Amino acid sequence: WYETTGKDEQVRQLSNSQGVGGGGSMDTPSKTFLDIKNANVQDKPAYFTNNATVVFVKKDNCMYTACPSADCNKKVIQESESEYRCEKCNKVYPEFHYRLMLTAKLADFTGHEWVTCFQETAEKLLGVFIE
C-alpha cells in the first residue's frame, strides 16, 4: 500500500489547536509517547503535542447513544422502548443521538498508545462529517 499510494498521502492535523481538546496553548511542549510514559503522569491531565501515525482503528463499539440536548453529549440509558434518560441533565427524552467514539492506536518513533476520539476528532480522522 505505501509504495503504490500511501507515500503520496497528505498528512492531516486532527486537532485545530495545540493540545487535545483545546487544552493546550502556544507553549504546549512537543513530547513523544516515551517522554510521557517516563514522566509518570497519573492524576491530572497533561497537555502536549505529538506527531503520531494512526496504526489501527477499532470498529466495534464506535458509536454510542447520546443525550439529544445541544450542550450535553453524555451517554443515555434506555428506560423503556421510547424513553432515554440522561443522568447529567436528569431528564428523560423520547429520542437520542448517535455520537462517534473511536478507539485508535497511535504510534510515534518511541512507542504506541491507545486513544479515544470523540465526535469532532473522529470525523477528522475518518474524513467524514456526520450530523
Tell me the C-alpha to C-alpha distance, in Å, between residue 31 and each of 1, 17, 34, 37: 29, 16, 8, 10
Q: What is the pTM of this model?
A: 0.70
In this structure, how many other beta carbons lie within 10 angstroms of the beta carbon of residue 26?
7
Q: What does the pLDDT look like over 47-85, one tens digit per residue?
A: 888 889 999 999 899 999 999 998 899 999 999 999 999
Kindly tell me if the per-residue pLDDT of 114 is higher than 70. Answer: yes
